[in-house]
Structures are given as structure tokens and as C-alpha cells.
Amino acid sequence: MQNGSKLFAIILGVLSIASPGKAQQRAVSLLLINGKVFTADARGTIVQAVAIDGERIVAVGSTAEITRRFRAARTIDLQGKLATPGFNDAHIHFLSGGLSLLRVDLNGARTLDEAKRRIARRVAELPPGAWVLGRGWDHTLWGGRWPTRQDLDEVAPNNPVLLQRVDGHVSWANTLALRWAGVSRQTPDPPGGEILRDAQGEPTGILKETAAGLVARIVPEPSREEKMQALRRALEEAKRYGITSIQDNSGYETTKLYRELLRQDQLTVRVAEWQNFEDSVSELQRQRVEFASFGDDPRRLKLTALKGYVDGTLGSRTAAMLAPYADDPHNSGLPRRSPEELTRMVVERARAGFQIALHAIGDRANRMALEAFEAASKVSAGEQRRLRIEHAQVVAPSDFARFRDLGVIASMQPSHAISDKRWAQARLGEYRVLGAYAWHLMRSFKVRVPFGTDWPVEPINPYLGLYAAVTRQSPDGDPPGGWWPQERLSIQEAIRCYTAEAAYASFEENEKGVIGPGMLADLVVHSRDLLTIEPEEILRTETVMTIFGGRIIYQRQTAEQPASRR
């Protein structure tokens, strides 16, 4: 009888192993089932379901497999909707973007008169003497003529005004602001900048590159409360667009505000913050030591690159070019410093162990950055710094291979191409334009190309960036077939640039950017299947759900939203 009991127990055990029941399922916190999950791995794997426990993904696979192996506190039926890794914006000015939501917004103003009307509305809300601040104006929409201080004086005679151009590299000031700052016909141009002057030598109100600092230095710093309000507004925007990570150019001091939000459990993006390349090595190291003393979770808040500037922008013709602009034959742009000084600073900071990210727009600026990085590679041989060039908008033909050979990351923002195409070819000419906004060519050289938005220079909306990457058309479909269409990417490639490639750029490819076991559970569910829809439908796609560290932080309320059950 005893032997029979043992035999019976063995048979039951074998049966239970062969046919595991619910009791043997692993308990997890969240299951996503019946979806189309683009994992964004190198093979482009698509699965149906994801098991999440706490902050991490524990398994991916078919719905049948995942529901057999796991039971969850909450299960969400995706009803066939597409899920991808959360967007990782590899180049953003998060605080500036938030502040732009609180100030005069001149984006899209089609005429000077429209811009003046928007400014006048803001002036009416303020007392005399209060600063009027804002950004977003684009004189190329107004026929190409630079606006003047007199234009602002008409609507703001008693308030100082300082407004940044859409690219952030030119500012427009009124007479009162110039007077308060002491900017007059006797004021010399600062290094790396230009005060635009009229025929009589008087400042017109246009301040290019570093010249904007002559007025900006007297503008009152936003209060802590205003900055916190701006960051909270920016976080709401990020949630709404499925952005779960940012590589941010808001500066070291902003980490103190992020830390406060983190303590309040309100920091719903993972922040890789940049320091200022201009600071001395001793100051940068002091900041690193101070930051480390706070003991922040590096998965939520960390310091990564030093951000520096080599030149300006194409729109303002301050990008540093190897030859003069095709539409301005006496102008080759404005390098911020000499090649020798740039190389010295890069080498010094690379030797100290810092990752470096240099803004470079023109082909001369990109070459200067590459030459500085090549010098840095010789003093830190064998060390992987993942040096970055931000924008890499115009690259000389021989320099694409140098990106590859030096292992330099080309951090690009695809929506710049469709914003700039109205005038870019006139600026560059028919030959140089072939190396402009060339993300497909860059990738063909096996260069890492993370994508970002450059918000508030461009909208924070990553769907606009995806659309630009796969069409190279403006939202109205111009030109048919795309502007230099050989540079288009597949939608799969474009998503990987916003996810896996972006994670690599901040040394986080083992933590995020791909939906797979062990990775952070940062995902976004889309209203349309980006992988199969017509390209124009990308612009009509919205985020249905944003999942951050296994928590649902945003859910669009619609009749078709994914079903949830407990």
C-alpha cells in the first residue's frame, strides 16, 4: 500500500509538471496581451504579449505562452494595438520647452504683423517695465527680412522685450531692452557673436549667437516656482507623447529641481542631464562629486555628457561653413571659437573622463568637431567615451567615414529637415545639400544615429519626427516623394533611432530602448499601427497609453482604449 501511494504521488507529480496549473504560474504585476509588440531589437522582433513585474520586463512572447506562465495583478488586453519601447528624446531642452509654454509663443506666426499681435496681447497682461519674453519667430516666413527694434517698439514701448528666434541662436530686442543693457553703436561685437546694425551703425535689435547674451544677462532669472511650473507642464507633454526618457540640455542646476520632483514621485521621465562644456574641468568635477553625494537612482536621474557649441544655425546663416553660403557669398558663418581652442578644450575634458556632445550644424563646424574628437581619441585610447555631434546637419562627403572610423555618434532631429527645406537648398547650393540632414547616409556608414526633437526649437511630438524620417515631406505632403528621398528611413529604423539608438547614446542600452527580459518596463501603446499605415497617417497617430517603470502614467480616454481587468 505504501509503495502504491508513492507511485500514485509520482504520477501526480509528473502530470503536474507536464500540465502546470495556475498555482504554479509566476505572479507578476502587469500583463500586456493580444497586442502587436515591436521590441525594437536588432532583428525587428514582433511578439504579442509582455510580462512585467515591478519596474522590469520579465518575459515576452505569444499571448498563449505568457498567460500560461504568468498571472498578474492587472492584465491589459491591447486589442491588437501596437506597442513599442517608450520614446527616448536624445536631444531636448526640457526646462526651456516648459518655460516656452508659459511665455509668448511665436511658433507658426506667418507674418510679422501676426507676431506683433501675439506680443501685444502679452504686453496687455503685464505692468509697464515688466519683461516680455518668448521664442519661436521665424523671419524666413516673413520674406526673409530681419525684424527690427522699431517693430517691437510699436507694440511694447514701455516694456523691455527679448524674443528668441525659433532656432534659439538669434534674439530680437526692442529699444528699451537694448538701452537697459547698455547696447549702443559703440558696443563691439562679442567673440562668436554679431550685433546687426543699420546704415547709421545703430543696433537694429537683432543679436546673433553670443551677442544675445548682452541683453539676456540682465533678464531676471525665472523664479524657482516658475521653473517648477514649467517642468510640470513639460512632464505632462512628455506623458502625452509617450516619452519616457530624455537626454536634456537644461544644465546642472536643473538637476536640483528634478530631484525634488523625484522625491515627490512626480518625475515621470528618466533624465540624462548634460553639463556645460564651457565650465572648467575643476568645476565640472566638483559638480560630479556633489551630484554623487545625493545618491540618486541613476535609472531615474544621472549626469552624462558635456554640451558645447561649435557654431550657430543655418536659418540665421551663423552655421560655420567650409565655403560661403550660396545665397550670401560674403558670409561663411560664425564659429564659436578657433579650431585650436576647441581641440584644446575637448582633449582636456576627454582626458578627465567626460563624454562630450558638440552642437555642430555647418560642414566646417562638423569637421572642427571631428578633428577635436580625433585628437581626444589619441589621449584616451581604448576608452569608450561615445563622443557625440549634435545635429550633424551638413557634413562634407569625406567626413561621413570619419564619423564611423572615430565611433562618433550623430545625434539628429529629423523634423529639422522638413522645417528647413523651404530655404536649405538656397543656403547650401545643389552640391552641399546632398550631405544635409543625411541620416540614411550616416546609417549606411554604420554610424549610430539617435533621434530627438530639440524641443522647443521643434515640437516635442515624436510622431512628427517619425513622419519626417520616413517621408522627408512637410505635413501637407510637399514635395511629392520627399525632399532628397534617398535619405528616407523605414519606420522600423526610425523607431529604433528614437529608442534603441538613443539608449546607446547615453550608455543605457542594457537598461532600456528594447522590449525584452530584464529591461526597464517603459512602453508606449499607439492608436495606429505605425508599421503598416500610410506615412501620412503617422501624423494622426496618438499615444493611447504610456507605461513608465511598469506603471501606467498616461491613458487616453477613448471608446477604443485597451481593456483592463484585475
Q: Is residue 409 part of a domain?
A: no
Cell triple for 203: 543696433
Residue 396: per-residue pLDDT: 97
Q: Which domain holds residue 56?
A: 2-86+551-565
Pairing of strands 193-197, 161-165: unpaired
Residue 7 has pLDDT above 60, yes or no: no
One domain for residues 104 and 74: no
Residues 50-70 as b/e (b if ≥16 CB within 10 A, e otherwise) read bbbbeebbbbbbebeebbebb
Residue 355: per-residue pLDDT: 96
One domain for residues 76 and 110: no
Q: Give the type of residue at 198.
A: D
Written as one string, the DSSP assignment of 302-364 is: EEEEEEEES---TTTT-S--SS-BTTBTT-----SS-HHHHHHHHHHHHHTT-EEEEEE-SHH
Residue 14 has pLDDT above 80, yes or no: no
Q: Is residue 58 part of a domain?
A: yes
Residue 19: per-residue pLDDT: 43
One domain for residues 7 and 60: yes
Q: Is residue 330 part of a domain?
A: no
Residue 316: per-residue pLDDT: 87
One domain for residues 75 and 156: no
Tens-place pLDDT, residues 330-343: 999 999 999 999 99
Q: Is residue 63 part of a domain?
A: yes
Smallest CA-to-CA distance from 346 within 390, 382, 392, 377 is with: 377
One domain for residues 179 and 204: yes
Average pLDDT over residues 223-236: 96
Residue 86: per-residue pLDDT: 98
End-to-end CA distance of the chain: 45
Smallest CA-to-CA distance from 342 within 312, 361, 365 is with: 365
One domain for residues 39 and 125: no
From CA 387, how far away is CA 409, in angstroms rounded? 6
pLDDT band at 563 (very low <50, low <70, confident <90, very high): low
Q: Is residue 122 part of a domain?
A: yes
Domain edge (last residue) among 171, 186, 216:
216
Residue 18 has pLDDT above 50, yes or no: no
Burial (0-12, 13-18, 19+ Cβ within 10 Å), 143? exposed
Looking at per-residue pLDDT, the higher value among 102 and 93 belongs to 93
Domain edge (last residue) among 181, 216, 251:
216
Tens-place pLDDT, residues 274-284: 999 999 999 99
Tens-place pLDDT, residues 342-376: 999 999 999 999 999 999 999 999 999 999 999 99
Query: Mean pLDDT of all residues in the chain?
Result: 93
Q: Is residue 294 part of a domain?
A: no
pLDDT band at 562 (very low <50, low <70, confident <90, very high): low
Domain edge (last residue) among 155, 184, 216:
216
Residue 38: per-residue pLDDT: 98
Q: Is 99 helix (H, G, I), strand (E, B) or coil?
A: helix
pLDDT band at 495 (very low <50, low <70, confident <90, very high): very high
Residue 454 has pLDDT above 60, yes or no: yes
CA-CA-CA-CA torsion sign (387, 393, 398, 400): positive
Residue 381: per-residue pLDDT: 59
Residue 385: per-residue pLDDT: 86
Q: Is residue 54 part of a domain?
A: yes
One domain for residues 136 and 54: no
Residue 561: per-residue pLDDT: 55
Average pLDDT over residues 282-294: 98
Q: Is residue 108 part of a domain?
A: yes
Residue 427 has pLDDT above 50, yes or no: yes
Residue 508: per-residue pLDDT: 97
Residue 17: per-residue pLDDT: 37
pLDDT band at 5 (very low <50, low <70, confident <90, very high): very low
Total domains in the fold of the chain: 2
Smallest CA-to-CA distance from 252 within 270, 226, 282, 277 is with: 277
Residue 22 has pLDDT above 90, yes or no: no
One domain for residues 201 and 118: yes
Residue 12: per-residue pLDDT: 34
pLDDT band at 461 (very low <50, low <70, confident <90, very high): very high
One domain for residues 115 and 77: no
Q: What is the CATH number of the domain that holds 555?
A: 2.30.40.10
One domain for residues 73 and 177: no
Residue 375: per-residue pLDDT: 95
One domain for residues 186 and 212: yes
Q: What is the CATH number of the domain that holds 205?
A: 3.10.310.70
Residue 192 has pLDDT above 70, yes or no: yes
Residue 56 has pLDDT above 80, yes or no: yes
One domain for residues 109 and 211: yes
Residue 8 has pLDDT above 50, yes or no: no
Residue 10: per-residue pLDDT: 37
Residue 4 has pLDDT above 70, yes or no: no
DSSP code of 380? S
**What Å distances lie between residue 178 and 7, 221, 246, 409, 425, CA to CA?**
95, 18, 35, 40, 34
